[in-house]
Structure 1
């Protein structure tokens, strides 16, 4: 699975090097989006996940009814039908 492959850094234009990371990480923050967004049907759940040894990603949490709690563990899964990054929750931390 790849997060978006950039041919070069958008800030300095240096060539990037491929990197492997994930697929597991820790939820930094999560929310339920309840307003209409073009191309998406509310409500849907999003989470920022700090991948182990990798970047922080914004991903959909398919099937979730509530926002994941910070500190919960999550794993990258197949992209959504809209080709968005997606994660599944592995262990939820009590709020």
Structure 2
């Protein structure tokens, strides 16, 4: 039996719920009308992770940042297999936030969007950001 007690091997690390160390949740966080993150104080590189000790590009210090909930698609797909609690079909997209980082979002409707389609983050689903494309709102 595996460490997680599900009877099959897993690559997932045990979290505090099963007696292991806490595992950080690296998903972007929505706070009202903004996505929380960090921005480098020198090169201005944006990331969707909060409280980074240094910039991943130039290793300078970072500061807290709030990014708009709008952006354009860089890539998208429709997933046809179950993943975690998500049942197919469901859409995923990488979105370049306006003046912000590129983040992964779930799409409100399962569809492959054209590159550059304008989207808006409209909420969350079980901790994942959910975006709606213009014309679907």
| TM-score normalised per structure 1 | 0.78
1:32-51 residue pairs with structure 2 within 5 A?
32-51=78-97
Higher Cα Rg, which structure: 2
Displacement after TM superposition at 1:8 (Å): 2.8
Q: Which runs of 5+ in 2 are unaligned?
A: 1-30, 37-47
**Is contact 2:93–2:105 with CA below 8 Å preserved after alignment?**
yes
Answer yes or no: is 1:53 the counterpart of 2:99: yes
- Relative to the length of structure 2, the TM-score reads 0.56
Find the aligned partners of 2:67 and 2:84 in 1 and give their Cα distance.
30
Following superposition, the deviation at residue 10 of structure 1 comes to: 8.8
RMSD in angstroms over aligned alpha carbons?
2.3
Tell me the secondary structure at the aligned position of residue 65 of structure 1.
coil
Structure 1 residue runs without a partner (length 5+): none
Q: After the TM superposition, which segments of 4 or more aligned residues of structure 1 sit over 4 Å from their partners?
A: 9-15
Tell which has more relative contact order, 1 or 2 (C-alpha 8 A, sep 6+).
Answer: 1
Number of residue equivalences: 90
